[in-house]
Amino acid sequence: MQLVLVGIQGAGKSTQGNLLSKKFNIPYLSSGHVFREMAKEKTPLGRFLKETLNAGYLIPDDKTVDIVMEYLQKPEYEAGFILDGFPRTVPQAEAFQKFTNGKEITILIDVSDKEALWRISGRVSDREDETLQAIRKRIDLFHEKTSKVLDYYAERKHLAVVDGEKSVEEVFEQIIEKIDEIEAKN
């Protein structure tokens, strides 16, 4: 199974990703986590990633695709994966489709901007990229860029939408139902 979780920051992707990882016994990979770890490195790429993330901007498509695809080549992802934070643009989705042979399932965890900001403000974080300005920038970029990715997946009938404002358990149940529906069609 190749599962992609999409939603604005604060939608609950990591919570659901970890639950789904346990259920399906496949690894959960957050591209944001990968980028934040790489941003700690004292390299030109690490500094670039840190500055870009802290400003709330997206990592350019070419770098993002290279980094994520390299990660997904690791043996632990051969049997499947749950991916969060990628793809965020149509060029990334097109590159990813070639990698997955179009077999990925994409789930949008839909929450309002207000709900996402409320959730993020209520959690304790020491992340440098979780300033209010950076979060708002990422939410704006989600609507500007990632909405086109959602259209891309909807056209291919690989997109399912769940109400992310329900309880953690209810969102999880919705996701399982959507996965079962999509797999039954294929």
Contact between 122 and 135 under an 8 Å Cβ cutoff? The reply is no
Tracing tokens 């929450």 back to the chain, one arrives at: 111
**85 confidence band (pLDDT: 50, 70, 90):** confident
Confidence check: pLDDT of 22 > 70 = yes
DSSP 42-69: SSHHHHHHHHHHHTTPPPPHHHHHHHHH
Pairwise CA distance, residues 66 & 34, whole Å: 12
Contacts of residue 22, Cβ cutoff 8 Å, sequence gap at least 6: none
**Class of 2-185 in CATH:** alpha beta
The angle that helices 61-72 and 31-39 make with each other, rounded to 10 degrees, is 100
- Structural domain boundaries of the chain? 2-185
Residues in the chain: 186
pTM for this structure? Answer: 0.87
- Tens digits of per-residue pLDDT, 104-146? 999 999 999 989 888 887 666 666 666 777 778 888 888 888 8
